[in-house]
Amino acid sequence: MTRTVQDKRAAFHALHRQGCFVIPNPWDVGSALMLQGFGFKALATTSSGFAWSKGRADGAASREAVLSHLRTLAAVTDLPLNADFESGYAPDPEGVAESVRMAIATGIAGLSIEDATGNASDPLRTIEDSVARLRAARAAIDEAGSGTLLVGRAENFLHGRPDIGDTIVRLRAYAAAGADCLYAPGIRTREQIAVVVAAVAPKPVNLLIGAESEFTLKDVAAMGVRRVSVGGALARAAWGGFMRAARMIADEGRFDGFAGATTGKELNAFFGDR
């Protein structure tokens, strides 16, 4: 079944109303189709995974490249697609609104705006600036009548500012500015997760889970988390397998690093049905 963009956006909002779902992060067409084939209900892009696939560091992709990537992934899958839209690819709220309008036109079902500056010495925007940018994104979505879901991200724990109090103040401000879903990547403990969920209720919370988490999906659902993403973890896992096998060849002249690799027959069977 081929769903329209509006169908995808409506389905995406519905997923956030109850239960807990995983929104994994593909980085190209093949990984998006494979994740759809595994039965996931929605997907999210990963700025890091996409950048690495282009031979760039995370954050180095241009707005034009990211918009092209969003357009490609949104068109290739029937699943709702949430865009990792970094800080909006603009220096001011007006520019953020322009970027958001462009992103909406790609067919995405949602997008996130984070409050990181990209400057290691001053990593977080002021709350006032961040709120203005979220409001601009909200206005662009509403003016377009698109129904695109807006995610507000507090980046404290990813950028050396692990202050749960400030994180909560930011998330509440972003909720008030119009964010439909709240996200504090980097929180890990049961206590941190519980306090964030309670602080922004009844709005849904996205939780980032990577390799070091002790929790299962059932665990975090019981804490009130509504959706779970994995960021660049799937891309890192793929790169890890590639690099281990390649290094074994380069350093030892051995080829047993291919053990456990998916067969070409299996991949051709999957993609041949597309």
| Cα–Cα distance measured from residue 112 to residue 85, given in angstroms and rounded to the nearest whole number | 5
User: If we measure between CA atoms, which residue out of 51, 64, 161 comes closest to residue 116?
Assistant: 161
Please check the confidence at residue 274 and state whether its pLDDT lies above 70.
Answer: no
Here the tokens at position 260 are 């456990």
Mean confidence (pLDDT) of the chain: 97
Give the torsion sign (CA, 154, 159, 165, 166).
negative
pLDDT average, residue stretch 19-34: 98
* Strand partners for 205: 182
Please check the confidence at residue 1 and state whether its pLDDT lies above 70.
Answer: no
| Cα–Cα distance measured from residue 196 to residue 224, given in angstroms and rounded to the nearest whole number | 10
Q: How far is CA 252 from CA 54, 241, 247, 258, in A?
A: 28, 16, 8, 14
Q: Cα–Cα–Cα angle for 229, 233, 235, nearest 5°?
A: 115
pLDDT average, residue stretch 240-252: 98
Q: Which domains are present in the chain? A: 5-231 (3.20.20.60), 234-274 (no CATH)
Here the tokens at position 24 are 């994994």
Please check the confidence at residue 273 and state whether its pLDDT lies above 80.
Answer: no
The string of pLDDT tens digits covering residues 122-174 is 999 999 999 999 999 999 999 999 999 999 999 999 999 999 999 999 999 99
- For the purposes of burial, counting CB atoms within 10 Å of the CB of 184, is it exposed (0-12), middle (13-18) or buried (19 or more)? buried
Whether residue 196 contacts residue 175, with contact meaning beta carbons closer than 8 Å, is answered with: no
pLDDT band at 82; cut points 50, 70, 90: very high
